[in-house]
């Protein structure tokens, strides 16, 4: 089980409530994440990731500076990033192929991070889902956590803004806005800006 929180391996949670009870800082960080301000992004450098798609890039990519996705209601947006190379992969997962998608996401990042001079670790950021009655979001949250636990690489869970921390119901009346993840290395900020953008109600 190579999924880690604060450098410690975690047991598979039985629910997201259990996860946040054991690691309350994740919920606190999720609230901070939700309070991020609007961010305007130049569409010329944006690569949009649709549902059931994923895309990977590096700071040296001259064509793509922003990876983006939206409309994650029961779906989840998944970002895996290597702290040394800056390589990152953004996926829009709907639960249809979680167990086959996660290894591909990890492989996309590790294949772009083979330079031994750029040592680092893999970090995971999860955003999406809400407390729907059929528990579709909750099942996807747990499936993603479990799938990442089964990878051979150590993966550090940094952001977990998922079912149990977001909404009781989705809304489609609020404007779109971008939420930014802090850059790993300040020098990369000019070359690589990774954003999730997601519609939710700030209750």
Grade residue 111 by pLDDT with cuts at 50, 70 and 90: very high
Q: Which has the minimum average pLDDT: 19-23, 63-67, 120-124, 158-162? A: 63-67
Q: What is the structure's pLDDT at 36?
A: 78
35-57 in b/e burial notation, b at 16+ Cβ within 10 A?
Answer: eeeeeeeeeeebbebeeeebbbb
Question: Over the chain, what HEC string results?
Answer: CCEEECCEECCCCCCHHHHHHHCHHHHHHHHHHHCCCCCCCCHHHEEECCCCCEEEECCCCCCCCEEECCCCCCCEEEEEEECCCCCEEEEEECCCCHHHHHHHHHHHHHCCCCCCCCCCCEEEEEEECCCCCCCHHHHHHHHHHHHHHCCCCCEEEEEEECCCCCCCCCCCCCCCCEEECCCCCHHHCCCCCCEEECCCCCC
35-39, 92-96, 142-146, 194-198 — which is least confidently predicted? Answer: 194-198
In the chain, domain spans: 3-197
pLDDT at position 130 is 83
Q: Is the pLDDT of residue 172 over 80?
A: no
Give the residue-averaged pLDDT of 143-151: 95
How far is the CA of 112 from the CAs of 7, 75, 79, 153, 186, in angstroms? 23, 26, 15, 15, 20
Q: 116 versus 139: which is more confidently predicted? A: 139
User: Band of the pLDDT at 165, cuts 50, 70, 90?
Assistant: low
Contacts of 137 (CB under 8 A, 6+ apart): 73, 74, 76, 128, 129, 130, 131, 162, 163
Where does residue 182 rank: exposed (0-12), middle (13-18), buried (19+ CB within 10 A)? exposed
Asked whether 152 and 2 are in contact (CB, 8 A), the reply is yes
Mean pLDDT of 109-118: 88
Q: What is the mean pLDDT of residues 116-131?
A: 89
Fold (topology level) of 3-197: 60s Ribosomal Protein L30; Chain: A; (3.30.1330)
- Structure confidence at residue 73 (pLDDT): 83
């Amino acid at each position: 089980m190579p999924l880690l929180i604060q450098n410690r391996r975690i047991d598979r949670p039985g629910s997201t409530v259990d996860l946040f009870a054991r690691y309350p800082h994740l919920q606190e960080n999720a609230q901070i994440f939700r309070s991020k301000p609007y961010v305007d992004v130049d569409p010329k450098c944006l690569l949009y990731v649709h549902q059931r798609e994923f895309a990977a890039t590096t700071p040296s990519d001259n064509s793509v500076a922003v990876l983006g996705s939206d409309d994650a209601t029961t779906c989840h947006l998944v970002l895996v990033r290597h702290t040394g190379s800056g390589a990152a992969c953004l996926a829009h997962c709907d639960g249809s192929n979680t167990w086959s998608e996660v290894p591909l996401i990890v492989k996309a990042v590790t294949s772009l991070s083979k330079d031994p001079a750029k040592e680092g670790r893999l970090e995971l950021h999860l955003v999406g889902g809400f407390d729907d009655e059929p528990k579709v979001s909750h099942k996807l949250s747990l499936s993603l956590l479990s799938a990442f636990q089964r990878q051979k690489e150590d993966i550090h869970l940094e952001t977990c803004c998922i079912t149990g921390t977001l909404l009781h119901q989705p809304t489609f009346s609020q404007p779109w806005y971008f939420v930014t993840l802090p850059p790993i290395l300040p020098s990369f900020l000019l070359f690589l800006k990774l954003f999730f953008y997601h519609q939710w109600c700030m209750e």
